[in-house]
A and B are shown apart, each in its own frame.
Chain A
Amino acid sequence: MKIHKHQVMTDKMMVKELEKVVVRFSGDSGDGMQLAGNIFSNVSATVGNDISTFPDYPADIRAPQGSLTGVSGFQVHIGANKVLTPGDACDVLVAMNPAALKTQYKFCKTSSVIIVDADSFQEKDLEKALFKTQDPFEELGIKNEVISAPISSMCKSSLAESGLDNKAALRCKNMFALGLVCWLFNRQIELAENMLREKFAKKPAIADANIKVLNDGYNYGHNTHANGAVTYTIESKEPKAKGLYMDINGNKATAYGLIAAAEKAGLQLYLGSYPITPATDVLHELAKHKSLGIKTVQCEDEIAGCASAIGASFAGALGVTSTSGPGICLKSEAMNLAVIAELPLVVLNVMRGGPSTGLPTKSEQTDLLQALYGRNGESPLVVIAATSPTNCFDSAYMAAKIAVEHMTPVVLLTDAFIANGAAAWKLPKLADYAAITPHYVTPDMEGTWTPFQRDPETLVRYWATPGTKGFSHRVGGLEKCNKTGSISTEPANHSLMTNLRQAKIDKIADSLPLLEVEGAEDADLLVVGWGSTYGHLCSAVEELNQAGKKAALAHFQYINPLPKNTEEVLRKYKKIVVAEQNLGQFAAYLRGKFNGLAVSQYNEVKGQPFQTHELVEAFTKIMEK
Chain B
Amino acid sequence: MSEYTANNYKIGQARWCPGCGDHFFLASLHKAMAVLGTAPDDIAVISGIGCSSRLPYYMNTYGMHTIHGRAAAIATGVKVARPELAVWQVSGDGDGLAIGGNHFIHALRRNINLNMILLNNRIYGLTKGQYSPTSDRGFVSKSSPYGTVEDPFHPAELAFGARGHFFARCVATDASSTVDVLVAGAKHKGASVMEVLQNCVIFNDGTYDSVYTKEGRAKNAIYLEHGKPMIFGVNKEKGLMQEGFGLKVVTLGENGITEKDILVHDAHCEDNTLHLKLALMEGPDFPIALGVIRDVDAISYDEAVEAQIEDVKNKKKYHTFEELLLTNETWEVK
B209 contacts chain A at the CB level, 8 A cutoff: no
Q: Which residues of B20-54 are within 8 A (CB) of A?
A: 39-44, 46, 49
Kindly supply a per-residue 1/0 record for chain A positions 247-260, scoring 1 wherever the CB is within 8 Å of any chain B CB and 0 otherwise.
11000000010011
Which A residues lie within 8 Å of B324 (CB)? 256, 259, 289, 292
Kindly supply a per-residue 1/0 record for chain A positions 281-317, scoring 1 wherever the CB is within 8 Å of any chain B CB and 0 otherwise.
0000000011111010101110110011111111111
User: Are A310 and B74 also in contact (CB < 8 A) when A473-B62, A474-B64 are?
Assistant: yes
Kindly supply a per-residue 1/0 record for chain B positions 66-100, scoring 1 wherever the CB is within 8 Å of any chain A CB and 0 otherwise.
11001001111111111011000000000000000
B203 contacts chain A at the CB level, 8 A cutoff: no
A466:B320 contact, CB within 8 angstroms:
no
Q: Output the least CB separation between B232 and chain A (Å).
A: 38
Which B residues lie within 8 Å of A341 (CB)? 64
A312:B77 contact, CB within 8 angstroms:
yes
A334:B70 contact, CB within 8 angstroms:
yes
B329:A198 contact, CB within 8 angstroms:
yes
B80:A474 contact, CB within 8 angstroms:
no
For the complex, give the distance between the alpha carbons of A623 and B207 in Å: 76
The segment from B182-190, B265-273, B283-291, B311-319 that touches chain A is B311-319
Q: Which residues of A26-50 are within 8 A (CB) of B?
A: 42, 45-46, 48
A311:B73 contact, CB within 8 angstroms:
yes
Q: In the complex, which residue of chain B has the Cβ closest to the Cβ of A341?
A: B64
A243:B65 contact, CB within 8 angstroms:
no
A-side binding surface: helix, strand, loop or mixed? mixed
Q: In the complex, which residue of chain B has the Cβ closest to the Cβ of A270?
A: B81
B70:A314 contact, CB within 8 angstroms:
no
B56 contacts chain A at the CB level, 8 A cutoff: yes
A472:B333 contact, CB within 8 angstroms:
no
Most chain B beta-carbon contacts within 10 A, residue among A248, A260, A317, A476 = A476
B77:A243 contact, CB within 8 angstroms:
no
Q: Which residues of A295-353 are within 8 A (CB) of B?
A: 295, 297, 299-301, 303-304, 307-317, 319, 333-334, 336-337, 341
For the complex, give the distance between the alpha carbons of A198 and B328 in Å: 11
A496 contacts chain B at the CB level, 8 A cutoff: no
For the complex, give the distance between the alpha carbons of A310 and B76 in Å: 10
B81:A311 contact, CB within 8 angstroms:
yes
A476:B330 contact, CB within 8 angstroms:
no
Which A residues lie within 8 Å of B43 (CB)? 466
A272:B41 contact, CB within 8 angstroms:
no
A195:B329 contact, CB within 8 angstroms:
yes
Kindly supply a per-residue 1/0 record for chain B positions 164-176, scoring 1 wherever the CB is within 8 Å of any chain A CB and 0 otherwise.
0000000000000
For the complex, give the distance between the alpha carbons of A48 and B59 in Å: 62
Q: Output the least CB separation between B61 and chain A (Å).
A: 5
Q: Which 10 A-B pairs have the closest CB atoms?
A: A311-B77, A476-B65, A308-B77, A291-B316, A307-B73, A304-B73, A290-B312, A311-B74, A312-B81, A300-B106
Interface residues of A (CB under 8 A from B): 42, 45-46, 48, 195, 198, 239-248, 256, 259-260, 263, 268, 270, 272, 289-293, 295, 297, 299-301, 303-304, 307-317, 319, 333-334, 336-337, 341, 427-430, 466-478, 486-487
Interface residues of B (CB under 8 A from A): 12, 39-44, 46, 49, 56-57, 59-67, 70, 73-82, 84-85, 102-103, 106, 305, 308-309, 312-313, 315-322, 324-326, 328-334
25 examples of A-B residue contacts, CB within 8 angstroms: A239-B333, A244-B331, A245-B330, A246-B331, A256-B324, A272-B73, A291-B319, A295-B305, A300-B103, A303-B103, A304-B106, A307-B66, A308-B76, A311-B77, A311-B81, A314-B62, A315-B44, A315-B81, A334-B70, A427-B330, A466-B78, A467-B42, A471-B41, A472-B61, A477-B66
